[in-house]
């Protein structure tokens, strides 16, 4: 069963869906879910929510402020701290929902939201289990490995120019999320272009643009630094060995996490967990983790 919901997040209305199991009666354990960098809920999150519902778990799936069905301006301007706040306000809404057991709530995230849920779980003791799929661990180290130290330094110089231009009264510049012609883009990999084109067919609200300044925030974002603060909340990390997010950073972070914890490595790229056949593996691992700990 699926119904539309909305909740307040710091004065902004966020919108999403509540999935509940078709059989049995609540209150159910629940998973709070949002998407990664620029993506919206229609881009495969319903697949995961349906898998959780089949196992007796409710899911609250939402769009961040400034994205998709949610209100908020500026649009297409991802701010990690604001999105983390949206997660925590979604948890508050879920705990007040009669269909959800307030003492059995977990969080799930993937890519950028996989990073966010690490921070949420480290800060918020209402979270009873966390699944982080192909997460960003350290923005600066990731960009240095992808673009080289010199390339990353050049990006920083461009972002300084953009910051000072905005300070002078200019509107934030926009850039594509992905580009199929090898042009400048926030996610400048071939598999990023391919997946976003595929997933966008079911997501008319998705826009292929973000602010240039959002890359500055990405570079400064290091959610792996707080991973040791998640325990004793149970942590499942699902990583991809061929990801553009270096697997070594995920392994390093996992080594610093406390128990209980589990690391699953998929021999695939960043977007493989969203699609068959590895969607089945990723969703089954997440379902088993939440079923066990919620």
- 211-252 residue pLDDT tens: 999 999 999 999 999 999 999 999 999 999 999 999 999 999
Extract the tokens encoding 217: 């925030």
Domain 2-138+223-293 has CATH 3.90.1300.10: no
pLDDT given for residue 74 in this prediction: 97
Beta-ladder partners of 106: 31, 129
pLDDT given for residue 167 in this prediction: 98
Domain ranges within the chain, ordered by starting residue: 2-138+223-293
pLDDT given for residue 230 in this prediction: 98
pLDDT given for residue 176 in this prediction: 97
Extract the tokens encoding 241: 């060995």
- 126-151 residue pLDDT tens: 999 999 999 999 999 998 988 889 99
Burial class of residue 69, CB neighbours in 10 A (0-12, 13-18, 19+): middle
Phi, psi of 33 (to 5 degrees): -140, 140
pTM: 0.97
Alpha carbons 37 and 67: distance in angstroms, whole number: 10
Residue carrying the six token digits 């594509």: 176
- The answer to whether the Cα torsion of 52, 58, 28, 112 is positive or negative is positive
Burial class of residue 184, CB neighbours in 10 A (0-12, 13-18, 19+): exposed
Mean pLDDT per 10-residue segment, the chain (294 residues): 97 98 92 98 98 98 98 98 98 98 98 98 98 98 88 95 98 97 91 97 97 97 98 98 95 98 98 98 98 98
Burial class of residue 20, CB neighbours in 10 A (0-12, 13-18, 19+): buried
Q: Are 17 and 69 in contact (CB under 8 A)?
A: no
pLDDT given for residue 120 in this prediction: 98
Alpha carbons 146 and 249: distance in angstroms, whole number: 13
Q: How many CB atoms lie within 10 A of CB 217?
A: 17
pLDDT given for residue 25 in this prediction: 87
From 74, 10, 64, select the one nearest 39 (Cα to Cα).
Answer: 64
Extract the tokens encoding 228: 């040791």
Alpha carbons 134 and 137: distance in angstroms, whole number: 9
Alpha carbons 3 and 20: distance in angstroms, whole number: 9
Extract the tokens encoding 224: 């792996």
Beta-ladder partners of 286: none
pLDDT given for residue 145 in this prediction: 85
């Amino acid at each position: 069963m699926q119904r539309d919901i909305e909740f307040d997040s710091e004065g902004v209305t966020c919108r999403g869906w509540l999935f509940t199991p078709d059989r049995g009666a609540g209150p159910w354990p629940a998973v709070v879910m949002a998407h990664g960098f620029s993506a919206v809920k229609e881009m495969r999150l319903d697949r995961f929510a349906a898998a959780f519902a089949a196992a007796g778990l409710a899911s609250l799936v939402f769009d961040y402020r400034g994205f998709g069905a949610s209100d908020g301006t500026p649009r297409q301007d991802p701010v990690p701290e604001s999105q983390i706040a949206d997660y925590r306000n979604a948890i508050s809404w879920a705990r007040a929902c009669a269909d959800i057991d307030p003492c059995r709530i977990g969080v799930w995230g993937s890519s950028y939201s996989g990073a966010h849920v690490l921070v949420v779980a480290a800060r918020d003791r209402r979270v009873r289990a966390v699944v982080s799929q192909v997460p960003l661990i350290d923005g600066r180290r990731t960009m240095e490995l992808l673009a080289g130290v010199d390339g990353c330094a050049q990006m920083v110089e461009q972002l300084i120019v953009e910051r000072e231009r905005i300070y002078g009264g200019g509107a934030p510049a926009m850039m594509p999320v992905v580009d199929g012609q090898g042009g400048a883009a926030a996610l400048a990999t071939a598999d990023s272009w391919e997946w976003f084109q595929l997933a966008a067919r079911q997501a008319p609200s998705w826009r292929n643009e973000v602010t240039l300044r959002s890359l500055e925030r990405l570079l400064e974002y290091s959610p792996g630094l707080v991973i040791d603060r998640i325990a004793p909340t149970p942590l499942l990390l699902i990583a991809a060995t061929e990801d553009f997010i270096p697997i070594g950073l995920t392994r390093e972070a996992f080594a610093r996490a406390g128990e209980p914890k589990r690391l699953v490595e998929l021999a695939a790229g960043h977007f493989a967990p969203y699609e068959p056949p590895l969607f089945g593996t990723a969703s089954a691992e997440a379902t088993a983790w939440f079923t066990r700990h919620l």
